Structure 1
């Protein structure tokens, strides 16, 4: 279990969160002279990615805008599994998502001339993080979203100072409009695939986990795979500092994302498959070097995990946010580790639910419990009808966000050519 008797531990909040201050001889990597590190990535001109990600993580400017997120013990899950389950609460970030880390680190490292031109995104998943980071850095921002985007989401984005442009009835249409505006106004698209600063920003999660746990105690860290930048970043740091900790990727069944491809042994075969699936090869190479195992889960398992997390935290997450917990439960069960007393960390990545979606996801979680109970009794497959709850990022690069119960708001428009450029 995570011990609390060590003299070099200190509490950082009242919710079972621990902050570990490494001793001089605990981890020799902490002896790095940070003053000698430069935030400029070193990249060689050949296929192997030699970016010094550890350097970029250690010099990331994430904590200019966010503090370390809590590492809370999930008492209910711990009792259910007979293990010590800790939740890395990225859902408590501004914007309710881990994404702010990478996006802020990307924007703050832009040249000032580029930053003042403005940033743009068509990713619904990243919209809040882009808006928040842009506001903190006084950078103009445009968010292009489909016309069915909820009024509450639009209100949040405009409150943060972004110009919201609604276009088309699909994410593809919104993306095309975003590309047009990007070219027209010479804007910077955020995030860009495989961006080193985004990966490094996400890597600070791994850094905090190491600081908040006792060396040698954590058995594994569970993290959604999605587009790969989150698990690549935290995995790179964990494997450099504490390589004995397993990094377990979690993905939905039947996904066409990175998870099916990162274990390919042939580099050329891997890259060919990634290109065919529009996945950035560099991100997949980083993932393949740090992920120890992959667990696929059903939507039923994810929905049940949202209920488990709520009962431990009183926070209702969307399905992407609960994915790591679902994977952790499945992996512990499949490995026969229930009752082992081992220590596990799961990343609760986000809580991006609109109020109108809450009753729907609660209902679906109840149906999922019934379905899983029937499945266990009869041996039949999942009883959840296909498509009742889904995750769909739409742009292929951002992690998915739950698309449920959204209301149309086609009448809302914002002048993209006016006020933004006069501010």
Structure 2
């Protein structure tokens, strides 16, 4: 497991690359929720998501250890983050994407200096190819979440929240593979354990929820949630023990609750976020916990939403 010292070290390692993102607030949102609500704006982070934190921590360490290139398997935020930091550090990055990758995502990876290779339609096809490429190129494969350096980098979000908001009662974190949640849990529970940390998953991608219920990693297969950044089939081997140790609760939100929360933030707060980010806001808006009259932070994990998909979310 990682510890607070690992997150502090990550913070120093990535300081010249990432930006400290703001805490946003809305009086109307707070009134609706019956709590004082703040949104941690990682959609305003470089490359448009929190992923640059973990990617920078991992890639920088790889370069220090002599890696000549890096690879990743991703069609979204992780791939963009790896491509960005690799380009910044002067080494090539190859991102293995599905054959049906959206043009906008491919273009974003290439704009950050990454080389794109297509492979199959599922992560089970992409991951082995990315690992194979790393071996061929004397490079390092950069996992999306199940890695100690990745988790430590993501944990810097938790440190920032504690510094930006002196009094906070609970932090809501979106859950995919669990890298962000594991990092934030470690940062907060080893610094200020009284703060509740609550994971949020779509009902259609509830692998972490089910795994915690059964006290073992559970695979749920492919999912179709609009929160595409959270479509993992089971928790990571390294992330899951951290969640078991520290998380206060994991709650589920419906597709319509995600959509309504997405629209609220766009219309009322003028912020463009991903449906995956809207899960935490949905958990607060639709009262998935018994918290009332508290100071709550909901992490907005990213803002890289496809324009065509956004139109569908608004008009549905």
TM-score if structure 1 supplies the norm length?
A: 0.66
Q: Distance in 2 between matches of 1:248 and 1:79?
A: 21
Matched residue, 1:249: 199
**1:218 alignment partner, SS class:** coil
Q: Distance in 2 between matches of 1:314 and 1:352?
A: 15
String of CA shifts for 1:346-391, please: whole Å, max 9, x gaps: 0010111122322112123xxxxxxxxxxxxxxxxxxxxxxxxxxx
Matched residue, 2:272: 316
The 5-angstrom pairing of residues 4-19 of structure 1 reads: none
Q: Distance in 2 between matches of 1:148 and 1:282?
A: 30
Residue 113 of structure 1 deviates from its aligned partner by 4.9
Q: Distance in 1 between matches of 2:268 and 2:149?
A: 33
TM-score if structure 2 supplies the norm length?
A: 0.87
- Is the CA contact 2:35–2:294 (under 8 Å) kept in the aligned structure 1? yes
Matched residue, 2:91: 139
Q: Distance in 2 between matches of 1:192 and 1:97?
A: 13
Unaligned runs of 5+ in 1: 1-48, 365-423
Equivalent of residue 302 in structure 1, options 232, 249, 258: 258
Equivalent of residue 179 in structure 2, options 229, 246, 250: 229
Q: Distance in 2 between matches of 1:69 and 1:298?
A: 28
Residue 138 of structure 1 deviates from its aligned partner by 1.4
- Is the CA contact 2:206–2:252 (under 8 Å) kept in the aligned structure 1? no
Q: Distance in 1 between matches of 2:157 and 2:248?
A: 18
State which structure, 1 or 2, has the greater radius of gyration over its C-alpha atoms: 1
Unaligned runs of 5+ in 2: 222-232
Q: Distance in 2 between matches of 1:256 and 1:294?
A: 9
- Is the CA contact 1:295–1:330 (under 8 Å) kept in the aligned structure 2? no
Structure with the higher helix share, 1 or 2: 2
- Is the CA contact 1:69–1:88 (under 8 Å) kept in the aligned structure 2? yes
Q: Does 1:158 align with 2:110?
A: yes
Q: Pairwise CA RMSD of aligned residues?
A: 2.3
Residue 155 of structure 1 deviates from its aligned partner by 2.2
Matched residue, 1:403: none
Q: Distance in 2 between matches of 1:350 and 1:142?
A: 22
